[in-house]
Copies of this chain bind each other. A is one copy, B any other.
Amino acid sequence: MLDKPDNLTVTELMAELGRKARAAAGPLAIASAERKHAALIGMAEALLRRKDLILNANVLDVAAAEAAGTAASFIDRLKLDETRIRAMADGIRAIAALRDPVGEIMTEWDRPNGLHIERVRTPLGVIGVIYESRPNVTADAGALCLKAGNAVILRGGSDSAHSSREIHAALAEGLKAAGLPEAAIQMVPVTDRAAVGEMLKGLNGAIDVIVPRGGKSLVSRVQEEARVPVFAHLEGLCHIYVDASADLEMAKAITLNAKMRRTGICGATETLLVDREVAKTHLVPVLDTLAKAGCVIRGDAEVCTLYPQAEPATAEDWATEYLDAIISVALVDGIDGALQHINRYSSHHTEAVIAEDSAVVERFFNEIDSAILLHNASTQFADGGEFGMGAEIGIATGKMHARGPVGVEQLTSFKYRVRGNGQTRV
């Protein structure tokens, strides 16, 4: 556990962090692409150079977690080794290699009076990132925010405090060597929960947006309490709809991948809907493929009749994000039935349709309001890297500003530059 300086309350300490971040945001917004690139490369090098310090700090965190009897899956997320540190450094290098978004002309046009208008990307300002046990978020989030010209205040979980502090020291080294303000990436130095509350209030206007990274309880607290905008998804209750026109082999392969490739990620499918018209031909082969891979099937009454190995689903199942090797399965009346089910239960994250009938695909694309809709592809593609964004800080299901994968472009705002030669308004 880290302690706050004796002479400051948590409120004062956090307000000071906010002021420093806001002060750093000015020079950061006009820092050249080259300088930011140099800082990022410097961070990656510092992470490798300081790896023993980081691993030693991580030993303390892991020992504390083990002593507290924490679950093995949690300790796995917490634990660092050389490979993971190298992966962090590589991740930062990948971010460094992205095109710098700041100053990019998004669109431009001329007016009849001769004015030339440009819409230009600018940094958002100050990002607050609140996360849990994964120490690598310190590096990922710090680097991504910097690439977009933003200052960031990182508040990691207390379980990974020692590791995060050492990772942060490496980031600070990269900033310093490149001549960028060290306050560009600040770590909250206390593990007090009140610090999170202060961030959610926005630190007197210093924070422009909050990004929570973690489980549902963290995200729901952030969404409920935050007085500043939040980029987040509460859950990823993703659906696959297998239409009567679907290719059976494709339905098997995609459903298997979407459910079982990794069950714990937000893009994993949780509910399978099968067109009643092809229940006799498509349902059993798809469910057999899943069951063979170790997936538990929970079906509605008809599914249980056609596939007796299935457990009966309760009403709650349709609203449950398992994040586990379990799938809920229902028969529906074609695309209308699928739309009805999905629009009722969707978390507005990601849904896929497997179909050869293009009219069905267009209705699926038009009539569902989720961040990501896929045709004949796995829901596990819901990821900034897979979208070609290079890296993501998360996936957002809100409709304001950022939606879907939140990459470096989504961490920017814009302004208008208007060039004239003496125009006055009539």
Contacts and interface: CB of A to CB of B under 8 A. Distances in A.
A336 interface: no
A367 B401 contact: no
B369 A250 contact: no
Contacts of A414: 403
Interface residues of A, number: 60
Nearest to A114: B377
Interface stretch (A6-14, A46-54, A415-423): A415-423
A376 interface: yes
A69 interface: no
A399 interface: yes
B399 A413 contact: yes
A30 B413 contact: no
Interface stretch (A134-142, A313-321, A381-389): A381-389
Interface string A19-63: 000000010011000000000000000000000000000000000
Contact of A403 (B250, B256, B366, B413): B413
A229 B343 CA distance: 23
A372 interface: yes
Interface in A362-403: 365-367, 369-378, 380-381, 386-388, 399-401, 403
Interface of A: 26, 29-30, 103, 109, 111, 115, 117, 120, 122, 124-125, 208-209, 229, 247, 250, 253-254, 256-258, 261, 343, 365-367, 369-378, 380-381, 386-388, 399-401, 403-404, 413-425
